[in-house]
Amino acid sequence: MKIIVCVKQVPDTNEVRINQETGTLIRDGVPSIINPDDKNAIEGALALKDIHGGHVTVLSMGPPQAKEALKEALAMGADEAVLLSDRAFAGSDTWATSTILAAAIEAIGGYDIIFCGRQAIDGDTAQVGPETAEFLNIPQVTYAKHIKAVGDRVQITRYTEYGDYVIEAKMPLLLTAIKELNEPRFPSVRGIFKAYSTDDVKVWTLDDLKIDMTQIGLKGSPTNVFRSFVPVKEKNSLIIEGQNGKEKAAALINKLTDLKLV
């Protein structure tokens, strides 16, 4: 079974701070991590390989530093890593990113499953997986929480607000993973040694892909950021005073009763 996992390196949004004056991100000192849902996708691919055998390629588009994320995936057990890095890719929105990923996946070729995380914690769009599937013209199942491969078919349990759906499809197809799918493994000591002692991450540029330049980068992206700002959420809060919890609670309930809220 040949599986390609798309991963994104993201800033740990728990640690992100905003420069209140400029409304920009302070990236200094913010650790970069593999996007959490993508880690579930890597684990999903490795688990399928554990059962059925095969080959797992991890694929990422990003700046040269994103190699670190791919090395971590290699240490977890992926067989091959490809980084797509080129100035021409900068400023890509989800359309352009999916265009580039789809071109790279076609260049790798011969795949059975493409695996993505449901969404990335920096953008939270959940669009890159489905758009990539659209450009590759393959079926997709998103929000996958359970996966089983039988012969040339895959059976997926996918989350919906109405209860789970069990869906079956023939390979090749694209899946997006949610947290409930699995518990990502830790890299083994041997894996870490191998991944970090060699430089096995292949780096591809624009020249390695067959791509329509009008569909990528800042210029090719149909959407762009008009403005960004820091949300203001401060309110006139009233802290209720009192001798003890009982007094405060009674005062609060009186206020809520006056407002007809309780």
Partner 1 sequence: MNRAKVNQGNNLADYHDVWVIAEQNEGKIHPVTIELVGEGRKLADSLAKKLAVVVPGADAEDEARKLLHYNVDKVYYIKHPLLKDFSTEGYALSISELILEKQPEVVLLGATSIGRDIAPRIAGKVGTGLTADCTKLEVDGEDHKLLQTRPAFGGNLMATIVCPKNRPQMSTVRPGVMEKAAYHQEIHGKLEIFIPSLKEEEIRTVLIEKVKSDKKKVNLIDAKVIVSGGRGLKAPEGFALVRALAEKVNGEVGSSRACVDAGWIEHLHQVGQTGTTVRPDLYIACGISGAIQHLAGMSEAKYIVAINKDPNAPIFKVCDYGIVGDINEVIPAMIEAIDKNGSFEI
Ligand X SMILES: Cc1cc2nc3c(=O)[nH]c(=O)nc-3n(C[C@H](O)[C@H](O)[C@H](O)COP(=O)(O)OP(=O)(O)OC[C@H]3O[C@@H](n4cnc5c(N)ncnc54)[C@H](O)[C@@H]3O)c2cc1C
The residues, ordered by sequence, that sit 6+ positions from 24 with a Cβ below 8 Å of its Cβ are 18, 228
Residues 238-257 binding partner 1 (CB under 8 A) are 238-240, 244-246, 248-250, 252-257
Across-strand partners of 204?
84
Q: Should residue 244 be labelled a site residue for ligand X when binding is judged by CB under 6 A?
A: no
13 and 27 in contact (C-beta within 8 Å)? no
- Which of residues 22, 197, 224, 243 is near partner 1 by CB under 8 A? 224
How many other CB atoms sit within 10 Å of the CB of residue 84? Answer: 23
Nearer CB in complex with partner 1: 92/201: 92
Per-residue b/e over 108-140, b at no fewer than 16 CB within 10 Å? eeebbbbbbbbbbbeeeebbbbbbbbebbebeb
Residues 184-243 binding ligand X (CB under 6 A) are none
The residues, ordered by sequence, that sit 6+ positions from 47 with a Cβ below 8 Å of its Cβ are 182
- Specify the stretch interacting with partner 1 by CB under 8 A; choose among 54-62, 191-199, 201-209, 237-245: 237-245
- Specify the stretch interacting with partner 1 by CB under 8 A; choose among 44-52, 69-77, 155-163, 187-195: 155-163
Tokens of 51: 């059962």
User: Contacts with ligand X: how many residues (CB under 6 A)?
Assistant: 3
Nearer CB in complex with ligand X: 17/87: 17
Cβ at position 241, least distance to ligand X in Å: 17
Q: Should residue 121 be labelled a site residue for ligand X when binding is judged by CB under 6 A?
A: yes
Residues 1-60 binding partner 1 (CB under 8 A) are 11, 13-14, 16-18, 23, 25
Q: Should residue 166 be labelled a site residue for partner 1 when binding is judged by CB under 8 A?
A: yes
Residues 8-27 binding ligand X (CB under 6 A) are 13-14
134 and 99 in contact (C-beta within 8 Å)? no
Locus of tokens 């728990």: 14
Q: Should residue 192 be labelled a site residue for partner 1 when binding is judged by CB under 8 A?
A: no
Query: Using CA atoms, how far apart are residues 98 and 108, in angstroms rounded to an integer?
Result: 15
* DSSP letter assigned to residue 148: E
Q: Should residue 174 be labelled a site residue for ligand X when binding is judged by CB under 6 A?
A: no
Cβ at position 221, least distance to ligand X in Å: 24
**CA-based radius of gyration for the chain:** 23
Compute the residue count for the chain. 262
- Which of residues 69, 155, 181, 207 is near partner 1 by CB under 8 A? 155
Q: Applying CB under 6 A, which residues contact ligand X?
A: 13-14, 121
